[in-house]
Amino acid sequence: MKILLIRHGMTTGNLEKRYIGRTDEPLCSAGLAALKQYSYPPCDILVSSPMKRCLQSAEILFPEQKAHICCAFRECDFGDFEGKNYSELRGDPQYQKWIDSGGMLPFPNGESPAEFRARCCDGFLTTINKYADASRIAFVVHGGTIMAILSQFALPHRDYFDWMTDNAHSWLCTFDGTNLINPENL
């Protein structure tokens, strides 16, 4: 089975380098324009996060297909950091503690990285099992979601932060029933 993991188009929060997780932010005009320049291979099944930025991206990239929503693919809940960027958080003791942990501590009043990654990976396996007869599935999701899935299933193995993906960029892989083989950045 071929798997295409696509990160949603750019939002204002992305442009401003903000932590945007639970905020249901739409694509910005630059993100809408950029998406129209991309073309991805057709898929049998289209799956999306329920967030506006992903649904808009899926509609632009695959206008003839209906996206199947998977709530497990929502971006991480950044808690008290939500909507803020580095310059606004600099000097915040909770933020410094989180940075010093290598991003492994839970976000204050938000989700822990371990819970987020487990949620995304469980959603991936559930989706794969649900559409086991498909030959190609496209996922339009968040950067963190892609990082969680690839760090868990990709061969060769790489760490979570090694899978950062730019807006509207993607990874094409083959799922062999256990692993995502040789992800290719499109």
Per-residue pLDDT tens over the stretch 91-125: 999 999 999 999 899 999 999 999 999 999 999 99
CA 37, 25, 56, 169: dihedral to nearest 10 degrees? 40
pTM of the shown model: 0.95
Per-residue pLDDT tens over the stretch 120-155: 999 999 999 999 999 999 999 999 999 999 999 999
Residue pair 153/123 in contact (Cβ under 8 Å)? The answer is no
Q: Record the tokens describing residue 143, joined without a space.
A: 């950067």
User: What's the confidence (pLDDT) of residue 186?
Assistant: 84
Region class of 68: left (phi > 0), else alpha (psi between -120 and 50), else beta: beta
User: What's the confidence (pLDDT) of residue 167?
Assistant: 96
User: What's the confidence (pLDDT) of residue 137?
Assistant: 98
* From the candidate CATH numbers 3.40.50.970, 3.10.20.740, 3.40.50.1240, 3.20.20.70, the one assigned to the domain spanning 2-185: 3.40.50.1240
State mean pLDDT over 55-61: 98
Calpha distance 64→57 (Å, rounded): 13
Q: What is the mean pLDDT of the chain?
A: 96
